Structure 1
Amino acid sequence: MNNERNELFKTGAPLPEMFSQYFSGQAYLQPLTDKGGPIFNVTFEPGCRNNWHIHHKGGQILLCTEGRGWYQAWGEEPQELQPGDVVNIPPEVKHWHGAAKDSWFAHLAVEIPAEGAANEWLEPVDDEAYGKLK
């Protein structure tokens, strides 16, 4: 397991209960700004990932900053993420993201402002499918 950390932004506090219930494992949240649109540093311990979810209306951009992780849109193959990767998630796309089994992972989550924007949290990522990721 890679326990070495190269933090670009502060890790922050453990996720509040209102969000942690939608994660398998421990993640941390550090708000960076709310100007223009909220930006958060989200840090995942090894093996942590969020449930499948949908950003209605606004979408999301992930700017990967630390470690190794995964992103998967519904019906597509998972893609490995590393520092410097950018993921543009259009509104209404069911997806999940999180750390690799053996690495911490962090990304900046940029919420795209839109009238009526909301997240819909869905089922957890299947443990067996996640376990097959390299």
Structure 2
Amino acid sequence: MTVPSRVGPNGEPLDDSEFRRRQERRCQAYDQSLSVLAERLNRLGRVTVESEFRLYPGIPRDKICIFNRELMLHGLYDVVARTIDHEYYDPRGFRTDLNVWSARDTDDTRVAVATWNKHLDGLWSLAKVPPWRRVPAM
């Protein structure tokens, strides 16, 4: 199953390559906007900010935000969520309940955050650099 996907007869997911291409173009626009913001913040000299996108083909199960590899927000997407027009399965996670985990709280939460960091590092290493970020070979 490819998510996002078109909702077909009887609720079955149908691949929609044009929709995926639109989503990819949207990601490219986000990437460009975030890169401009990062450059502005870096010019101020108080922080160092980086922005990088990768494409990972899989069902978006977990909504995870990790800050400085220490503080984590985690929840599960509603994978059968649909767009407003109900035409696509597209779990954006606007209503996802997030749990807060801090590596500074307890041994258990420190282990949980470390485990997620390791897992996401592995996924990141397998994910493709998007075409708009690839540097042509010389």
Determine if the TM-score, normalized by the shorter chain, exceeds 0.5: no
Larger relative contact order (C-alpha < 8 A, sep ≥ 6)?
1
> By percentage of residues, which structure has more strand?
1
What TM-score, normalized by structure 2, do the two folds share? 0.23
